[in-house]
Amino acid sequence: MTELINLTTGQLREIISIKEQIESLQAQLEAITGGDAAPAPSSVRPSGRGKYKRSAAARARMAAAQRARWAGTKVTRGRVGRPPGKGKRRLSAAGRAAIIAGTKARWAKLKADKGEAGPRKRRKMSAAARAKFSEIAKARWAKAKAAGKSTL
């Protein structure tokens, strides 16, 4: 049978009209016979999941075995959880204060070793240096424009 992609629109329209005729004839046949006529094989569709290959008891055994395997892997990974009665461990206020004090001391020592007492001052460029950079940039733009470029 040819693929639908390779058919022209006229052929597709003809296929649709023939299908509609078949459906109307089937409806007439059902009306005459009282609806107990077998439908055409093309319109029969399997409903649901179909027949199971294994019995319900076999599926239950398989599910139980899989649950047991998962329980085994969770135990070996250490995911069994905390023993009963033990809550979540929390950091005390004194412990937190000790950690903060230690961190501040480490940073102070690091800054003292580098010689940083306060914020660094911004370097300033002299007016002559700024003028020199400006001239260099203007020359570069003039060269680019002469070459017909709009960007550097």
pLDDT tens per residue, range 53-77: 888 999 999 999 999 988 877 766 6
Q: What is the average per-residue pLDDT within 77-92?
A: 71
Q: Give the pLDDT of residue 127.
A: 92
Check: CB of residue 67 under 8 Å from CB of residue 60: no
Share of the chain above pLDDT 70, in %: 76
What's the pLDDT at 88? 81
Instruction: Tell me if 140 sits within 8 A of 152, measured CB to CB.
Output: yes
Which one has a higher pLDDT value, 132 or 36?
A: 132
Q: Look at residue 150 in the predicted model and tell me its pLDDT.
A: 85
Supply the mean pLDDT for the chain. Answer: 83
Q: What is the pLDDT of residue 113?
A: 84
Q: Judging by beta carbons within 10 Å of its beta carbon (0-12, 13-18, 19+), is residue 29 exposed, middle or buried?
A: middle
pLDDT of residue 61: 96
Element (H, E) at 138: helix 127-146
Q: What pLDDT sits at residue 89?
A: 84
pLDDT for residue 103 is more than 90: yes
Query: Residue ranges per domain, the chain?
Result: 7-40
Please check whether residue 113 is in contact with residue 107, taking contact to mean a CB–CB distance below 8 angstroms: no
Enter the pTM of the model. 0.24
